[in-house]
Amino acid sequence: MCRFTSSEKEDWKKLSDFLNIALPKGRLGEKVYKMFEKAGFECPSVLDDTRKLIFENPEKKLRYFWVKPSDVSIYVERGAAAIGIAGKDILLEYEPDVYELLDLNIGKCDMCVAAKKGFFDENRKTLRVATKFSNCAKRYYSAKGRDIDIIHLNGSIEIAPILGLSDVIVDIVETGTTLKENNLEVIEKIFPVSARLIANKSSFKFKTDMIENIAGHLEVKND
Ligand code: PRP
């Protein structure tokens, strides 16, 4: 038989009482948290300048935590977070088994193909594509029937065509500054991207009211 101490029981109760919310660290994260705050789901310590990653509002039973944007959907899919905010780029790349509840209409950008200025795809040889979004790139070129060689990188993708590592890149473009400052240009837009509220499927079943309440308030603030 499995025995728990009373403090373990307390910890477990607290864990399951709280609604865990995964926020994407970085440029989108602060905007997203402010939307939650405006909608009445505040937890002021989230914005403290510390290295802490987990923050709680005991009155509202909310627990926020910062994770890498590309990891949000993993926390949510596996139930470590009941809800989270992930870009459509990440959702299309990893296709996690989660509910997509709301388009937050922030973090807008485009998934694009870009290359050095003047690049022309002659279609004669395999196209070398550098990207963080290998699945999105494969799907896109497979639909076009174009033969490609994927070079999977984890960041600073723009360097690849400059150094001759790839012919093109598939990456998100927001302001276009990174492309411009590296003498690259957009060749094709693949799909638009924005931040989405996602939910774990079983958390949604057991905490429907709480999650719908948050989604509803975020939607109102979003109009
Ligand atoms: C993203 C993306 C581009 C840049 C586009 O990189 O991969 O490099 O932003 O933004 P812009 O159009 O506004 O210039 P990120 O900042 O996430 O860093 P990374 O290169 O390490 O992935």
pLDDT digits (tens, 9 = 90+) for 133-144: 999 999 999 999
**Is 1 part of any domain?**
no
Angle at 104 between CA 78 and CA 24, to 5 degrees: 45
Q: Both 154 and 183 in a single domain?
A: yes
In the prediction, which pLDDT does 14 show?
Answer: 54
**Does residue 156's CB lie within 6 angstroms of at least one atom of ligand 1?**
yes
**Is 42 part of any domain?**
yes
d(CA 56, CA 211): 17
**Does residue 157's CB lie within 6 angstroms of at least one atom of ligand 1?**
yes
Helix ranges (DSSP H) in the chain = 6-17, 27-38, 72-77, 88-94, 134-144, 159-162, 177-181, 201-206, 208-222
**Does residue 173's CB lie within 6 angstroms of at least one atom of ligand 1?**
yes
In the prediction, which pLDDT does 219 show?
Answer: 83
Q: Residue 186, by phi and psi: left (phi above 0), alpha (psi -120 to 50) or beta?
A: beta
d(CA 85, CA 46): 15
d(CA 223, CA 221): 6
**Does residue 171's CB lie within 6 angstroms of at least one atom of ligand 1?**
yes
Q: Both 74 and 155 in a single domain?
A: no
Q: Which atom of ligand 1 is nearest to the CA of 156?
A: 20
**Does residue 57's CB lie within 6 angstroms of at least one atom of ligand 1?**
no
How many domains in the chain? 2
d(CA 41, CA 217): 9
Residue 140, C-beta contacts closer than 8 angstroms, at least 6 positions apart? 113, 170, 190
Residue 68 has pLDDT above 70, yes or no: yes
Distance of CA 178 to the CA centre of its chain: 20
Residue 169 has pLDDT above 90, yes or no: yes
In the prediction, which pLDDT does 223 show?
Answer: 56
Mean pLDDT, residues 49-60 taken together: 92
Please write the tens of the pLDDT for every residue from 110-141. 999 999 999 999 888 999 999 999 999 999 99
In the prediction, which pLDDT does 15 show?
Answer: 58
Q: Both 121 and 99 in a single domain?
A: no
Q: Both 169 and 141 in a single domain?
A: yes
The predicted model scores a pTM of: 0.90
d(CA 80, CA 98): 13
The SS3 call for residue 207 is coil
| 1: DSSP letter | -
**Does residue 178's CB lie within 6 angstroms of at least one atom of ligand 1?**
yes
Q: Quick count: other Cβ atoms within 10 Å of Cβ 89?
A: 25
Q: Could you tell me the distance, in angstroms and rounded to a whole number, from the CA of residue 164 to the centre of ligand 1?
A: 20
d(CA 3, CA 10): 13
Q: Both 76 and 181 in a single domain?
A: no
- CA neighbor of 135 nearest in space, from 150, 146, 156: 150
Distance of CA 10 to the CA centre of its chain: 32
**Is 16 part of any domain?**
yes
Q: Which atom of ligand 1 is nearest to the CA of 178?
A: 14
Q: Could you tell me the distance, in angstroms and rounded to a whole number, from the CA of residue 172 to the centre of ligand 1?
A: 7
Q: Both 187 and 199 in a single domain?
A: no
d(CA 193, CA 202): 26
Please write the tens of the pLDDT for every residue from 147-166. 999 999 999 999 999 999 99
Query: By residue range, what is the domain housing residue 116?
Result: 109-191
Domain of 200, CATH number, reads: 3.40.190.10
